[in-house]
Structure 1
């Protein structure tokens, strides 16, 4: 196989869901798949061995944060992210666009890029499309993301149009700046809640014949039903023979609905963030392990879960660790929560292969979308 390719193995007869395999230089990613987030070159509280045991096949790191600490030059001297963090499976780096634009009071946007003051040392940083790609080339992830402008929600259509058009122009500069054949550059579809802007952006990006495509600018404040509508309208416009990645989404319902629309890859900080707050994901529900109801509950979190935590520890023990603020609590809950979301997408994958997707996951699917709440 080429260094990067995507092969569709099966399709759902009733939806646009599909099963595929994404080939990368560091191994394959079976889709649909949830990808854990390791912002600073680690998935918080987990060792690479623990992470691999969750079923993770691809993880994320963040260009913006790694540029600030420890700096891409140090990662480069270590041999790239794979060597630096001792993770020999595929890695994706975000461009840093979302993080840069979240600094709303500290940055200035122009056609050239974004100038902002570092929250670490206060120095002025000029983040351009070329600079983002340069940093990502040094970091050495398998998949890198184009630098995009992520407009807030809500915003006027004029503001979103300007951001979407600028994102498309920046993509051209990213393509020119990208000089590593062992890294796949993904483009990002923006457009806010406006389906006409989304459609135009998707059609424009498809003309570049990139190795993969992402839908960005969701999960920035919109209600879940709007996200579902955006994804349902946009995903079918992206090439079928390339992986499709929905950025920043990681709940059961959102992932199931997105898979039904043809999405392949997901990422979200939910599993480890909840763990650090003493919460577990159990069959998609959030449990607060501080609650007294768990103090004498000696059953596992989920008797059907294959993770190390559920196979070895009780709810009572986890409750004790959380109440005692023991670091082990966050590790054990992270192991479970990451496994939970990866297992969910694996179950959907199996159901598509077995022609059971709409039967097994019907309670998450809602094909009746009202168009009136979306702008045209």
Structure 2
């Protein structure tokens, strides 16, 4: 295996508990304790939250969306104003995706060939060409600590031939991305292969032979049965190079995180906690609270009596939060987002503590039992 080569970056495992591991990712903008959850700042902002508020949830790395920042305000503007760190005033580590998933998802306005993606902007219809070299150039200008290679992400129900072709092209694009990367910017490779463990492992081996600073598992939670995703993660994640961080892209629920950490995954991102917050859904240790439901109209209790987030600690009642949501008040979106991100921050912090103490199995059992009990109670 080639191993990471970018100066200023390092990863080391501090402890293991079964396949789960606690580690430390070093970047030019500080250290990130793993397992870690990256709040999604699509447009350079975690929706409704200030950088200080995001950091207060325990997050020390956030994700920015290359596709959206490329189209608006543009990488030159971001670069001129101090890169993504200076532009957004987020002082800690940052990762940007390649933009490939967004381009690939534009099925009705996109063509794909060996060179890259050709698509029409969803903003103004202008023609855009996203190649591995352009993806690296844009991410280099934006200036996050970690960039992602451009890859092909087939839907969960694609044929085996499509998965094999996606792996092959992603490998070819990986070489082009590494050749075009900024010397001082880390780059992660992206493992594809659908729900076929053998294909996943073979692709991971190809990418591990290249000087990527980390390896990501892409193409999960794209339509395949969730239980099958968990099964494949248990088989594949522990086989990824142990010297590099392992990143599960776009996943997922608290249940998914507990299962994936147990399989050896280090890094996560997902829009779920912030998106669900904007839809009036609070995530707790015992499942979801859908605040618009009539049963909360006079409920004096907080979202979660065991939670120490600003929303719960202040004693905001479910009745008040329901009133704000139905009235369309912006405050409730902030309160729900703070709560949901705090839950994710608590989950990964407690997971790290359990791994360091050698008791991850018991931790996972307790969390999963609470989530499953809450799910059954809601049905």
TM-score range, shorter chain: over 0.9
Matches within 5 A, 1:337-356: 337-356=340-359
Task: Check the 8 A contact 1:193/1:226 in 2, yes or no.
Answer: yes
- Gap regions ≥5 residues in structure 2: 1-5, 370-379
Q: CA deviation at 1:57?
A: 0.9
Match of 1:226 among 218, 225, 228: 228
Q: Tell me the equivalent position of 2:372.
A: none
Q: Tell me the equivalent position of 2:282.
A: 280
Q: Tell me the equivalent position of 1:373.
A: none
Q: CA deviation at 1:229?
A: 2.0
2:67 is aligned with 1:69: no
CA distance in 2 between partners of 1:111 and 1:29 (Å): 36
TM-score if structure 1 supplies the norm length?
0.94
Q: CA deviation at 1:363?
A: 5.5
CA distance in 2 between partners of 1:361 and 1:196 (Å): 27
CA distance in 1 between partners of 2:27 and 2:202 (Å): 29
Matches within 5 A, 1:78-157: 78-157=81-160
The alpha-carbon distance between structure 1 residues 77 and 284, as it changes in their structure 2 partners (threshold 3 A), is farther
Match of 1:196 among 176, 195, 198: 198
Q: CA deviation at 1:282?
A: 1.2
Task: Check the 8 A contact 1:245/1:263 in 2, yes or no.
Answer: yes
Q: Tell me the equivalent position of 1:8.
A: 13
Task: Check the 8 A contact 2:289/2:303 in 1, yes or no.
Answer: no
2:306 is aligned with 1:304: yes
Q: CA deviation at 1:2?
A: 5.7
Q: Tell me the equivalent position of 1:370.
A: none
Q: Tell me the equivalent position of 1:185.
A: 187
CA distance in 2 between partners of 1:83 and 1:142 (Å): 13
CA distance in 2 between partners of 1:96 and 1:190 (Å): 16
Stretch moving more, 348-357 or 15-24? 348-357
Matches within 5 A, 1:351-370: 351-362=354-365
Matches within 5 A, 1:209-358: 209-283=211-285, 285-312=287-314, 313-358=316-361
CA distance in 2 between partners of 1:50 and 1:236 (Å): 34
Q: CA deviation at 1:68?
A: 1.0
Stretch moving more, 133-142 or 305-314? 305-314
CA distance in 1 between partners of 2:286 and 2:27 (Å): 30
Q: CA deviation at 1:252?
A: 2.0
Q: Tell me the equivalent position of 1:40.
A: 43
SS across alignment from 2:322: helix
CA distance in 1 between partners of 2:335 and 2:263 (Å): 33
Task: Check the 8 A contact 2:174/2:189 in 1, yes or no.
Answer: yes
Stretch moving more, 28-37 or 312-321? 312-321
Stretches (4+) displaced over 4 A: 363-366
CA distance in 2 between partners of 1:117 and 1:249 (Å): 27
Q: Deviation string for 1:110-148 (max 9, x for gaps)?
A: 001011111111111110000000000000000100000
Task: Check the 8 A contact 1:282/1:302 in 2, yes or no.
Answer: yes
CA distance in 2 between partners of 1:88 and 1:363 (Å): 34
- Gap regions ≥5 residues in structure 1: 367-376
CA distance in 2 between partners of 1:343 and 1:243 (Å): 20
SS across alignment from 2:32: strand
Alignment size in residue pairs: 363
Q: CA deviation at 1:364?
A: 6.3
Q: Tell me the equivalent position of 2:376.
A: none
CA distance in 2 between partners of 1:196 and 1:316 (Å): 51
RMSD (CA atoms): 1.5
2:159 is aligned with 1:175: no
